[in-house]
Structure 1
Amino acid sequence: MRKWLVPAMLLCLLAAGCNTVARNETSPSPQNDNRVRAQQSSPQKKTIGNPKQVAAHLESLARKVPGVKGAHCVVFQNTAVVGIDVAGNVDRSRVGTIKYAVAEALRKDPYGINAAVTADIDLSHRLNELGADIRRGRPIAGFAEEMADIVGRIVPQMPRDVQPMRPEPQTQAKQQLNQHL
């Protein structure tokens, strides 16, 4: 009985797999689809041609939001990062609300649709410094310096990784000479 069971099952599976017949009524083709299709209603991201002008535009949009004291924007290729300054006495939930309002304002703009918004004081300050470096004509050096500072703050310092400073060889020779005299 077992001898016939495995071949019979294989035969059934094979027969079921070969039984698919193309039926026109099962799935309509896209050419015959008479349903209404909606266009994308949110603004599409535009290619940034003049980064300085776009940065100034996004900063002005962010400053118009109530609760924003200042805004700093850096545009790199086709991406913008906007740092906002809020009053120091504002509680965390209110800061989140202000940041959300800025994101809503930027969402309505084709240049700001994919911008990143931060309310972190340190990052906002670093964005300001990076923008100043870009205006001074040193975008790559300024970016590298600021990224090094940001990463340096993020990476923790582990006490076991700290090596005691060793005196330089010249200093050791001078100390030995002074001890003999």
Structure 2
Amino acid sequence: MRRICLVLLFMSLAAGCSQAPKNGAAPPQDPSQQQVKVQQIAPQKLEIKDSRAVADRLEQLATSIPDVESAHCVVFGNTAVVGINLNKQMDRAKVGTVKYSVAEALKKDPYGVNAIVTADMDLDQRLRDIRDNVRAGRPITGFAEQMAEIIGRVMPQLPRDIRNPPSNQAPSEANRVGSPNL
């Protein structure tokens, strides 16, 4: 009886090891044959050598879209930021549609594929100022000044960040709670 149980156990183990995978697929063959090779289909970002020519080109592409009154582009490194100026009376949904259309047009251009598009009027004006400073021969100074102004506008002022005057000095009249000057 013991021999019969051992023979049955051995036969079941041998049968279990030789089974094909449950999904019906053949067992894996050579690992090098399992690799899939795919070609890169995304457009490659071209290196920008003449930033002024690229900026002019992207501005022309942006202004070719209906409802775009003007466009201003700043190129730094291999990145372009394009500000578009639209009619002030345009509703928000239409602004989004026009901005999308500009981005779509820029995507088709090898230099504009990674551009950043903004329809904010303040940023458009700042981009215009940066572009004018670059063309006037002040690229670093003009860029730094405008970035400082942009960051100053974006940074929130948190009440918890306001420091109280030292305790040994009396607060000024304007800083007292309940002061009529507030």
TM-score (norm 1): 0.69
1:59, distance to aligned residue in structure 2 (A): 0.4
d(CA) in 2 for partners of 1:132 and 1:141? Answer: 12
Instruction: Show the 5 A alignment for 1:90-101.
Output: 90-101=90-101
Instruction: Show the 5 A alignment for 1:26-37.
Output: 26=28, 28-30=30-32, 32=33
| Aligned residue in 2 for 1:51 | 51
Matched, 1:104 2:101: no
Q: How many residues align?
A: 139
d(CA) in 1 for partners of 2:137 and 2:30? Answer: 58
d(CA) in 1 for partners of 2:70 and 2:52? Answer: 17
Contact 1:43–1:109, Cα closer than 8 Å, also in 2: no
Instruction: Show the 5 A alignment for 1:1-150.
Output: 26=28, 28-30=30-32, 32=33, 39-150=39-150
Higher normalized helix content (fraction of residues) = 1
d(CA) in 1 for partners of 2:138 and 2:53? Answer: 17
- Alignment gaps of 5+ in structure 2: 1-26, 166-182
Larger displacement relative to structure 2 (150-159 or 64-73): 150-159
d(CA) in 2 for partners of 1:150 and 1:163? Answer: 28
Amino acid at match of 1:43: P
Residue 75 of structure 1 aligns to a residue whose secondary structure is strand
1:33, distance to aligned residue in structure 2 (A): 5.9
d(CA) in 2 for partners of 1:64 and 1:27? Answer: 56
Residue 26 of structure 1 aligns to a residue whose secondary structure is coil
d(CA) in 1 for partners of 2:164 and 2:89? Answer: 41
Amino acid at match of 2:148: A
1:39, distance to aligned residue in structure 2 (A): 3.1
CA, structure 1 residues 151+27, in 2 after alignment: closer, same or farther (shift >3 Å)? Answer: farther
- 1:122-176 CA-to-partner distances (Å, cap 9, x unmatched) read 0000000000000011110001100010011111234673889xxxxxxxxxxxx
d(CA) in 1 for partners of 2:83 and 2:57? Answer: 14
TM-score (norm 2): 0.69
Runs of 4+ in 1 over 2 A off after TM superposition: 27-30, 32-35, 37-43, 156-164
- 1:63-100 CA-to-partner distances (Å, cap 9, x unmatched) read 00111000000000110000000001100010000000
Amino acid at match of 2:68: V
